[in-house]
Every structure is written in structure tokens, then in C-alpha cells.
Amino acid sequence: MIAEFGQYALILAFTLSLAQSVLPMIGAQRGIRPWMAFARPGAFAQLGFVGFAFLALVACFVRSDFSVAAVYHYSHSQQPLIYKIAATWGNHEGSLLLWVLILAVFGALVALFGENLPPRLKARALSVQGMISFAFLAFMLFTSNPFDRLSPVPFEGEELNPLLQDPGLALHPPMLYLGYVGFSMTFSFAVAALIEGRVDSAWARWVRPWTLLAWTTLTAGIFLGAHWAYYELGWGGWWTWDPVENASFMPWLIGTALLHCQTVVEKRDALKAWTILLAIIAFGFSLLGTFLVRSGVITSVHAFAQDPARGLFILVILAAALGGSFALFAWRAPSLNPGGLFAPISRESALVLNNLFLAAGTGAVLIGTLYPLALSVITGGSVSVGAPWYIATFVPLMVPMVLLMAIGPLLGWKRGDLPGALQRLAVAGALALLAAGYTFSRETGGSVLAPLGVALGVWLFLGTLVEWTERVKLFRAKPRENWNRARHLPRAAYGMTFAHLGLAIAIVGMTGSSAWKSESVKAMQFGDTVTMGDFTYRFDGIAAVKGVNYLAERATLSVTRDGKPYTVLHPERRRYAVQAMSTSEAAIESSGRGDIYAVIGDRAGPRSWTVRIYHQPLVPWIWLGGLLMALGGVVSLSDRRYRVGVPNRLPIGQVTGA
Amino acid sequence: MMRQILLVPAMLALILAFATASSHPVLADPTIPTVDHPLADPALEARARALMREIRCVVCQSQSIDESNADIATNLRNIVREQLAAGKSAATIRDYLMARYGDFVLLKPPFKPETALLWIGPFALAAICLAAGLAALHINGTIASGSTAPDLSRSERERLNRLLAAGCSEKPQLRQRGQS
Amino acid sequence: MSLRRLLYALPILLLALFAWLAWRGLAPDRDPAALASALIGKPVPQFELPPLDPAAEKLATKDLAGHVTVINFFASWCAPCKAEHPLLFQIGKDYGVAVYGIALQDQTADTRRYIREMGSPYTKIGLDQNGRVAIDFGVAGVPETFVLDRNGVVRYRLSQPLSAGLIAGEIDPLLRRLAE
């Protein structure tokens, strides 16, 4: 019965979203207050219905109700509870339901916290959100119903893919979807603003928390996915430029650009049309990602179902949403009031350049991702666009941007002092070059990329610190004043500092992991040792281990460093009985210098196994950097100025003006 | 006690049964090379590894043969090593593989008329973005500095002169509260 | 239409281009996982393989000349090969073409057992235990099937298991054409 209730709730949500799409929009156009007021309870009710449906599906999984097709295909009675729950969204239908749930959550959040929004803007934004929900609910109900039943009822399920039975991968889709769907809110606000014909700094301030939330969760989701790939796939790779990975990277790049140019709209009332366009494009890339994963038009490790009919449905949604908003843009954007002016050298222009590089980078990734498809459709040829191409095109585009990232925050609004900024960065630049030189001297291959990466990371790190010391007037005022200033800096400033520092650390981590990785692959018998760098590994033995739903071979490797015991590693090879699939679980020991990473492979003989050992320098820095970036986003979000509910108090006697 | 003694070998037997039932051929036979044979010369091996990173594992998704554990990847790795050791150049080896697998096998697409747009695209895009941006900044900048301000007409110039001559005698209008 | 207006219309134009590409990409006859063969229209690679039965003849390129042939790569450890095996008998019988089998990276004993159990539709069987001949053919896995015309030129490559539908739709017309 629960499944039927869930289905009914979805149908209710579907009809409600239709009302939500139409009534507030017409109400805002015609000034019909009750229709506009419908948006708020409508959003709450939407959340209620979709939330109920989602919980119903989770309940079906937890109870192992195999009469529900999704539960049969992706769960098993012996599966650990956490993976029964994670299986809810580990498949096409369930993840769609998660999508729609998050859409509803964001709508409800705007309804809840949007007390201070102008009523028409709120009504229109919630109405657009309702339209998106309507489209996806239609897609779900007509092509991908999670509550489809099976008859006769099977006794046992087929089990979730063992690769997905992992905590990191249980968390990765919800985070990612929070990001993707978060951009739906900025999209709705952008379209609402276009319909209204007015974009101003007040609009930018209202939208900023949503952009920040989407960007932060998307950052977390991407790094989680990369981290999972790193420890699960068995050779320490964390990014393959796979089409679906790119599909999450592109909205992130655009989201970053959007965050930065929104600041210009907010502070200087400029770059309006561009900001609106980016808000539309960011969500457009979310939709593109959905299309690539679920349509079967490109093969990928991440692809769900290969179903052209579903693909066509999503393509129609994508074309309608983006086509409509781009058409609206072409019509309305030219008449948006152009805003504040600024000198060619200023913080605004630095942000413009930042946006340009990010846009060019996104364009490069888009070209690489879609080119094989385009070529196969137009000429029938097939070509692979892999990591070497992206490194040759994307990285050069990002280098000037990172250089600029340290300079931009030091320039003033309206008119900046470039020589002054460069002077203050002189030490940072010198140290960066020194670091590059040192790296180059230690390199054996004469490669340029590693010193470049290190130099950029050092430059950005020190440059960001310089900016903070400027704000706090470190070394130029008394420590007490430094402390006061540091305490009272707006949180958004700290957000920026953390995020930029995080990126710098991540850049160095990425450089280290790509440039200085080393490995040893050896068939080892019990008692054999292998030495890599300072570390010696002794293969002590293999034990049989039984997990909840798998059998494993668990190897023991004693690791000593410079003769002293360092750690013991236990790589495993698991065999999941139901799906007859093996996974290999790497054993990793992290430290500030990097990771040692051991994997047990196939048997190489009657008493020997293939043991692969990798040294992954600086990899933990990547995850630390990502964490810091996400933390920066959270800190920024907590800034009081960006919380929509805080009223703007003015003293009596002051002229009110926008 | 007896049961516990028997349990471990029984487990091991079960595991071995699973392990050998997998779809990979057993590696014991040396004539079936699913094992790597690294080159003795480290510099040559390093060149081989660099080349391997550019060759796609044709049965995997977006992985190079350097990263993949698939049998065919191992085979291709050994072929690359053999040919390098025999003195062939990287370009020759790439051609060898392309003749058999098509352009698809290279992760770094060759520069041909079909892929010209692919290679030039990002840089052309960057150039266009930069040009557009700089143009917009320039226009913005010149407006800000007033150098493109249109000239005043005669009547406007006279009014300006009068205002300047009058100095502070004309009080500016104070905005009343309530007016926008 | 001013340049400015055109610029504002650029996004929707690009979207239209993408939508068209995607729509064509969704066409049901397009399989994104299918591997185009680099060998189509080229002569079959030169090879010589030891036979399954030590007393039999080797399988070599010269055996393929003068008549339409079908080459099938298989292995005992490959489940889809077992599934498509009966169809190979059908091809040999219905079209009067010689079907040659190449066992890829398989133990001799295992191949022998496979043939004993499943029967042999093959005129000759060659053993490619180190996988090099498969690489010369651009084979990515098993099963794969090639059709050659009487001059030894590769005309068709199937990188997935045979099915009745595929035979009727693609192989039948081709074999008829080549028989003329």
C-alpha cells in the first residue's frame, strides 16, 4: 500500500505544480493578490507531497518490498541498511525522485525565508520553480515511475551494484543534486527578473544565498565523487574527464563565474545582462548533465539507462526551459538598465576577466565533451577526447585566471591601483618563482607542468594571505587593532579567503598527484618485500574474511619506513555473491606528504599474488583544498547580510531610496 | 574444535572456487600474457608510460591503457614497450594502433581536418571572449572617464556658463520624503 | 538587426544547434558503444595461427582467399560467445560461406572442451593465445565477427554478439551481395 500512497502523492504533486506554474505567474502579471499568495502555501504543499512520496520509496527499500520493481532491481535482503537507503537514489527512477524532492525543498525554503522579497518577484520565481517541477514530475510519472510494481513478486532482489555499496558514493548524489537543483533557484529568480524587466542590486542580494548554497554543495559533491574514484578504482586516479564528470564540472565553473559577477551587480549595479545569462546557463548545464546521464546519447561509466525515448523527453524539457529563457533573454535583456561604470583597471574589470576565463574554460570543456557526439552525428567518424586534450586546452586557459585571482581582490572598486597591488604581491611572486625553481631542480623529467602548478598554488596562497593582511592592516597597526579588524571583517570576506586558499592547496595537490606518482607492480609470495622510496612493504599473508554480503581475501602488508615500523595495510578483494562481481578495496595510509596506496590483484601463481603499490604524493591536499573551498562557501552563507529574512533598518530622518 | 579447523580450508576452497570462476583466464600459463613486462631501461620505460597515457583502453570508459587492468590493455602495453625497444618512434606506434583501431584509440585526438575545430575551438573561443571583454571594458572605461561625452549645444553651453557664474545662488532642490 | 540584438540572440541559436545534434544523436539506429572498424575496405591482416587439433592444418591468411569468409573471435570463458554459437552454424549452412574461428587468449584444453561441448561450425580453428592477431584485427573483446569478400577485403565488423535480428538486418543483405 505504501507504494500506492507514494504514487498518489506524486500525482497530487504533479497537479499542484501545474497550479503553481500558472496561478502565481498570472497573478503577478495582473496584480491579483490571492493568486500571487498561492505560491507560498503551494510550495509548502509541494514539499509535503513529494517528501511523502520520497519517504514512501525509502520505506519500500528498507522493508525490502520486492514487489516494487526498483527495490527488486537495486536491493537485496542481506544488503546493509545504509545501502538499502542509499539504493533509493542509486538508480534512475529514485534519483529523479530525489531531484524533484530537492526542487520542492528549495521552493519551500524561498517561500519560508522570502518574507522580504517583493511579492511579484517571489510569485514569479516560485512559479518558474513550479514549472520545472511540473516538467520533471511529468517525466517521472509518464516514463520513469519509481513505484512500478512487479507481478509475480520475486523472492529476492538483484542487489545494488557493489561499486555503489560505499559510504562516499551514498552521499555523492544527494550533494551533487543539491548543487544542480540549487541552480534551479537562481534560474527561477533570473527568469522572474527578466519577466519583470528589472535587475538591481537588491535582486542580486536576494539571489546570492541560493547561488552560494548551490555552489557549495556542488563543490562538495564533485570532490566527494573524485575522492571515491580515488580509493575505489584501484590506481589512484580521481578524474578522467568522463562526459558525466564534465557535466558536473561545467555548472561548477559557471556557478563560480556567477558568484563573482553577482557581486558586481550587488555592489555596483553593473553586468546585469551577463549575470542573468549566467544564471540561466548554470541551470542549463544541470539539465544538460541530466540529459547526458539518462539519455544514452553518450556512453559513460555514470550513465543510468540507455533509453532514447526518455532521452527525447529530457531533451524536450531542456529545449523548452532553455529555449524559453534564452528567448526571453534576447527580448528583454537589451532593455535592462545599464548600471555603474568603472575604469579599465578596477576590481570590476578583474571580475569581468575572471568571468571571461571561466566562460572560455567552460566552453573548452563543452567542446571536448560534445565533439565525439557531433562528429559521429555529422560524419559518422569516431574520435576520443581524453585527458591529454583537456590538459592541453583547459589548463592553459586557467593559468591566467589563477594569476589574476591574487591581484583582483587587491584592486579597488571603480578604479584600482594596479602598480600598488603588484607591489604588495612582489614577495608572493618571488616566493612562487622560487618554489617553481626548486621543483624544477628536483624533477627528473624536465616537465614544465609540475613547477607551473606549484608556482600557481604558492602565488595564489600567498596572494590571498596578502589580501587578508591588508584588510587587517597587519604590520601596519597595533595587534589590538588587527584583532578588532579581523573579528569584524564580514564573513563573506572570510568565505573568499578560505575558498581561494582552498583552491591554492588543491592546485598543489593536483600537481603533485599527477606529476610525481610512482608505482610498483609485483607478483609477491608470502614473506616477499618490495621497496619504494623510504618505504619497505612486506607481504605477510592473506586471510579469508566474511562481510555482510560478500566474501573477501584480505591481505596483510607490513610497512616500515627507514627501518622503523610505519603501518600495516589491509587491501581486500571482495566477491559479492549475488551479482557475482568483484571489487577491490585499496588500503590507503595518508600523511601530509601523500598517500601510500596498496591493492591486491589477481593470483599470479599457485602461491603468489599480484600486489600493486602506489605512492601518491600530496593527494590529501586535494581533499583538504576541496573541504576548505566548501567551508568558505558555508562561512559566506552565514554572513548576516545575505540572509533574506534580515530587515534593513534605517534611522529616522534618512531619505529612503533604492 | 573440529568444525573450526575445517572451516578455514573450506572458506579458502570457496574463495578459490569463486576466484577461478571469474571471466579472466587463469594467469598460470606464461604463453597467455596478461602480465606486464616492464622494460629494463628506465628512460625507455618512462617514454613508454608517457605514450601509454595517450592511448585509450578500448574496452573501458575514458581510461588510458596505463591505468586499466583489462587484458587487452596489458597486451597493448606490452606491444608499445616492444616497439619502443625495437627503436620505433612514438608517432609510428600511434599510426600502428590507429591503423587497427581507428582514431578512437588515441586519447589525444590527432590534428586532422575533422578535428581542426576541436583543437582550434577552445582557443578561438578564448580569443573571442577576451576580445569581447576587452572591448566592453574599453567602452565602459571611456564612458566612465567622460571622453566620449557628446559636445554641448550652444544653448546648453550658455546655460552652463550662467550657472557657473551664478555660483551658489541657485539652491539645489532638496528631495522631500515620499518622493522618488 | 543591430549587432547588439544579434549578440543577445546568440544563446538561443547555439541552443538550437545543440538540440539538433542531440536529437540526431538519439536516433534509434545509432549505438554510441559500437566501435567503427578501421579495417573496413582494407585487406585482411596477414597472420598464421596454430590449429586447435595438433594434427590439423594451421589457420593462415592464404586460407581466406578466393571465397567469401566469416571470421569469428571467441573464447571458452566468454558467456555471450556460447549464446551466439548456434547462429554460426546457421550462417555457414544458409549462405554456404566458410566460417573460421579464432580462440582468443584461451587455454588449449579449455578451447577443446568448449568445441567438444558446443560443436564446431568452423572450417578451421586458430589459437591466438597471446592476443596479437586480435589486436591486428582491431578486436576489443569477444565475441567479434568479421565478414570478408572473396578478395580478402574486410567488409563488415560486428563488435557484439550475433543475433537473429542482426543477421537478418545486416549480415544477410551483405552476404547476398558478396555472393554475386
Instruction: Using an 8 Å CB-CB cutoff, list chain B residues near A394.
Output: 122
Is B25 in the A-facing interface, judged by CB distances under 8 Å? Answer: no
Calculate the CA dihedral of residues A394, A396, A397, A400 and round it to 10 degrees: 150
Residues of A with CB under 8 A from a CB of C: 273, 277, 280-281, 284, 291, 295-299, 308, 311-312, 315, 318-319, 322-323, 326-327, 329-330, 333-334, 370, 373-374, 376-377, 380-382
pLDDT at A416: 85
Which residue of chain B is at minimal alpha-carbon distance from C130?
B32
Instruction: Please give the Cα distance from C103 to A8 (Å, whole number).
Output: 55
How many angstroms separate the CA atoms of A19 and A41, rounded?
12
Q: How far is the C-alpha of B18 from the C-alpha of A582, rounded, in Å?
A: 10
Asked if C107 lies within 8 A of B104 by C-beta distance, the reply is no
All 3 cell numbers of residue A658? 533604492
pLDDT tens digit sequence for C39-64 = 888 888 899 999 888 888 888 888 88
CA distance, residue A595 to nearest chain B CA (Å): 18
Close Cβ partners of C27 (under 8 Å, ≥ 6 residues apart): A308
Whether residue A114 contacts residue A644, with contact meaning beta carbons closer than 8 Å, is answered with yes
Residue B14's pLDDT band (boundaries 50, 70, 90)?
A: very low
Tens of pLDDT along C117-165? 988 899 889 998 888 899 899 888 888 999 998 888 998 888 888 888 8
Residue B26 pLDDT:
30
Q: Contact partners of C by the rule of 3+ C-beta pairs under 8 A?
A: A, B
Task: Tell me the angle at which helices B42-52 and B90-101 cross, rounded to the nearest 10 degrees.
Answer: 40
pLDDT over 60 at B147, yes or no: no
In order of A301, A452, A581, the CA distances from A442 in angstroms are 37, 14, 43
B99 and C CB contact within 8 Å: yes
* Range A220-236 average pLDDT: 90
Residues 506-565 of A with CB under 8 A from B: 521, 523, 544, 546, 551, 553
A-C Cβ pairs (cutoff 8 Å, strict): 71
Residue C33: closest CA among chain A residues belongs to which residue? A299
Q: To which H or E segment does residue A171 belong? A: helix A167-196
CA of B177, closest CA in chain A: separation in Å?
A: 6
Distance, in Å, from the CA atom of A410 to the CA atom of B104, rounded to the nearest integer, reads 47
Q: Which residues pair with A558 in a beta bridge?
A: A538, A568
Touching chains, B (3+ CB pairs < 8 A): A, C
- pLDDT tier for residue B150 given thresholds of 50, 70 and 90: low
Tell me how many helices (H) and strands (E) chain C has. Answer: 6, 7
**Does the pLDDT value for residue B108 go beyond 70?**
yes
CA distance A421 to A406: 9
DSSP letter at C57 equals P
Q: Where are the alpha helices (DSSP H) in C51-171?
A: 79-95, 108-118, 132-136, 164-166
- Give the nearest partner residue to A327 out of C12, C18, C25, using CB atoms: C12
Residue B125 pLDDT? 92
Handedness of CA A428, A431, A437, A441 (dihedral sign): negative
Over the stretch A498-514, which tens digit does the pLDDT of each residue have?
A: 999 999 999 999 998 88
Please give, rounded to a whole number of angstroms, the shortest distance from the CA of B75 to a CA of chain A. 16
Taking CA–CA distances from C159, the nearest residue in chain B reads: B59
Q: Residue A611 corresponds to which amino acid?
A: V
Q: Is C123 helix (H, G, I), strand (E, B) or coil?
A: coil
Q: Is the pLDDT confidence value at A101 over 90?
A: yes
Q: Does residue A53 or residue B6 have the better pLDDT?
A: A53
User: C33: pLDDT confidence band, cut at 50, 70 and 90?
Assistant: low
Condensed to tens digits (0 to 9), the pLDDT of residues A134-157 reads: 999 999 999 989 999 988 898 898
Length of chain A measured in residues = 658
Work out the end-to-end distance of chain C between its first and last CA atoms, rounded to an integer number of angstroms.
60
Q: What is the pLDDT of residues A418-433, one digit of tens each?
A: 888 898 899 899 999 9
Q: Is A601 an interface residue toward B (CB < 8 Å)? A: yes
Among A371, A384, A521, most B C-beta atoms within 10 A, so best to mutate, is: A384
Q: Which B positions 8-37 lie with beta carbon below 8 A of chain C?
A: 23-26, 29, 31-34
Interface of B with A in 72-91 (CB under 8 A): none
Distance from CA of C138 to the nearest CA of B (A): 5
Model confidence over B151-161: pLDDT tens digits?
Answer: 677 788 888 88
Could you tell me the pLDDT band of residue B142, with boundaries at 50, 70 and 90?
Answer: confident
Cell of B88: 620505433
Q: pLDDT tens digits, residue range A1-22? A: 899 999 999 999 999 999 999 9
Q: Do C38 and B71 touch (CB under 8 A)?
A: no
Higher-pLDDT residue of A335, B17: A335
Cβ-proximal residues to A31 (8 Å cutoff; 6+ apart), any chain: none
Higher pLDDT, A248 or A548: A248
CB A94 within 8 A of CB A57: yes
Closest Cβ opposite residue A291 in set C8, C22, C28: C22
Instruction: Provide the pLDDT confidence category of residue C28 given band limits of 50, 70 and 90.
Output: low
Residue A325 sits at the vertex; the CA angle it makes with A321 and A331, to the nearest 5 degrees, is 150
Instruction: ipTM value, please give it.
Output: 0.84
- Interface test with chain A among C6, C10, C12, C17, by most A beta carbons within 10 Å: C12
Cβ–Cβ below 8 Å for B75 and C132: yes
pLDDT the model gives residue C1: 54
Question: Nearest CA of chain A to the CA of C58: how many Å?
Answer: 31
Instruction: Give the pLDDT of residue B178.
Output: 44
Selection from A221, A72, A228 nearest residue A160 by Cα: A72
Distance CA A626, CA A507 (A): 10
What is the C-alpha to C-alpha distance for residues A434 and A615, in angstroms, rounded to an integer? Answer: 25
Chain A residues touching C8 at Cβ < 8 A = 273, 329-330, 333-334
CB contact under 8 A, B102 and C38: yes
Confidence label for A361 from pLDDT (cuts 50, 70 and 90): very high
Q: Give the nearest partner residue to B108 out of A382, A388, A414, using CB atoms.
A: A388
pLDDT per position as a tens digit, A45-77:
999 999 999 999 999 999 999 999 999 999 998
Identify the band that residue A259 occupies on the pLDDT scale cut at 50, 70 and 90.
very high
pLDDT at A651: 56
Interchain CB distance below 8 Å, C32 and A333: no
| pLDDT tens column, A316-353 | 999 999 999 999 999 988 888 777 777 888 888 899 99
Q: How far apart are the CA of A145 and the nearest CA of chain C, in angstroms?
A: 21
User: Does B116 lie at the interface with A, CB-CB under 8 angstroms?
Assistant: no
Query: Are the C-beta atoms of residues A262 and A211 closer than 8 Å to each other?
Result: yes
Q: To the nearest whole angstrom, how far is the Cα of B58 from the nearest Cα of chain C? A: 6
The answer, yes or no, to whether residue A496 has pLDDT greater than 80, is yes
Judged by average pLDDT, the poorest of A246-260, A555-569, C36-50 is C36-50
Number of neighbours of residue A257 by Cβ within 10 angstroms = 24
Helix, strand, or coil here: A603? strand
Residues from chain B that touch C107, judged by Cβ atoms under 8 A, are 25-26, 29, 32
Q: List the one residue out of A260, A278, A266, A461 whose CA is nearest residue A354.
A: A260
Is pLDDT of A371 > 60? Answer: yes
Cell output for A128: 518558474
**Where do the DSSP E strands lie in A465-532?**
518-525, 529-532
Query: Which has the closest alpha carbon to B72: C113, C128, A236?
Result: C128
In 3D space, the residue among A580, C160, A161, C161 whose CA is nearest the CA of residue B23 turns out to be: A580
Percentage with pLDDT > 90 across chain B: 14
pLDDT in tens, A276-304: 999 999 999 999 998 988 887 776 655 55
Contact check, Cβ <8 Å, C141/B72: yes
Question: Which residue in chain C is spatially nearest to B76 when comparing CA positions?
Answer: C135
- Residue A633's pLDDT is what? 95
Report pLDDT for B22. Answer: 31
Which candidate from C36, C39, C77 shows the least CB-CB separation from B23? C77
Percent pLDDT > 70 in chain A is: 96
Nearest to A62 by CA among A112, A114, A3: A3
Q: Do A386 and B107 touch (CB under 8 A)?
A: yes
pLDDT of residue A24: 94
What pLDDT was estimated at residue B137?
80
Set of chain C residues whose Cβ sits within 8 Å of the Cβ of B34: 105
Torsion angle of the four alpha carbons A13, A16, A17, A18, in this order, in degrees rounded to the nearest 10 = 130
The arithmetic mean of pLDDT across residues A517-544, rounded, is 88
- Per-residue pLDDT band for A225 (boundaries 50, 70, 90) equals very high
pLDDT in tens, A432-478: 999 999 888 887 665 788 899 999 999 999 999 999 998 888 888 88
The three cell numbers locating residue A595? 598517500
> Which of C16, C19, C25 comes nearest A373 by C-beta?
C25
Confidence at A652, pLDDT banded by 50, 70, 90: low
> Each residue of A95-104: b (16+ CB within 10 Å) or e?
bbbbbbbbbb
Query: Is A388–B125 a contact, with Cβ atoms under 8 angstroms apart?
Result: no
A314-349 b/e (C-beta count within 10 Å ≥ 16 → b): bbebbbebbbebbebbbebbeebeebbbbbbbbbbb
Round to whole Å and give the CA distance between A493 and A263. 12
Contact residues, chain C, for A376 at CB < 8 Å: 25, 30, 32
Quote the pTM value. Answer: 0.87
Partnered with residue A525 across adjacent β-strands are A608
DSSP A91-121: SHHHHHHHHHHHHHHHHHHHHHHGGGS-HHH
